[in-house]
Amino acid sequence: MKFSAQGMWGRANYFAVNSSYSNGYRFKNPDGNFQMFYAKVIIGNTVQVASNSSLTHPPLLPGSMIDRFDSVKGNTNGSDVYMVYANKKAYPEYLITYKA
């Protein structure tokens, strides 16, 4: 998987609860079909934060100088989205190919 270059919640892997939201980021094949992944994501201890494009890691846990939340939760365009900042926290279980 590839981190986004610079998204609303920084450099992370983004996963939406609603596939209709993810459809806006689909991959287009040369044959005209589209593709997206259905993934299992370990969100662990998550924190909801306002968008912050400078994030490269989840925020620190309250009172900690080293321990961080596992993921970040946000909401955009009516969909909850989760961001993880390590590839090992997500497994692309299915590659879905479809026509719009």
In a domain, 19, yes or no: yes
Please give the torsion angle defined by the CA atoms of residues 66, 71, 75 and 76, in that order, rounded to the nearest 10 degrees. Answer: 100
8 Å CB contact between 41 and 89: yes
In a domain, 55, yes or no: yes
In a domain, 72, yes or no: yes
In a domain, 7, yes or no: no
Residues 6+ away with beta carbon under 8 Å from 5? 11
Residues of the domain holding 70: 13-98
8 Å CB contact between 41 and 83: no
Specify the CATH number for the domain of residue 52: 3.90.228.10
In a domain, 3, yes or no: no
In a domain, 37, yes or no: yes
Condensed to tens digits (0 to 9), the pLDDT of residues 19-29 reads 999 999 999 99
Question: Is the pTM of the predicted complex or chain greater than 0.75?
Answer: yes
In a domain, 1, yes or no: no
Residue by residue, pLDDT tens for the chain (100 residues) are 555 667 899 999 999 999 999 999 999 999 999 999 999 999 999 999 999 999 999 999 999 999 999 999 999 988 999 999 999 999 999 999 999 7
In a domain, 90, yes or no: yes
Number of compact structural domains in the chain: 1
**Helix-strand-coil split of the chain, %, nearest 5:** 10, 40, 50
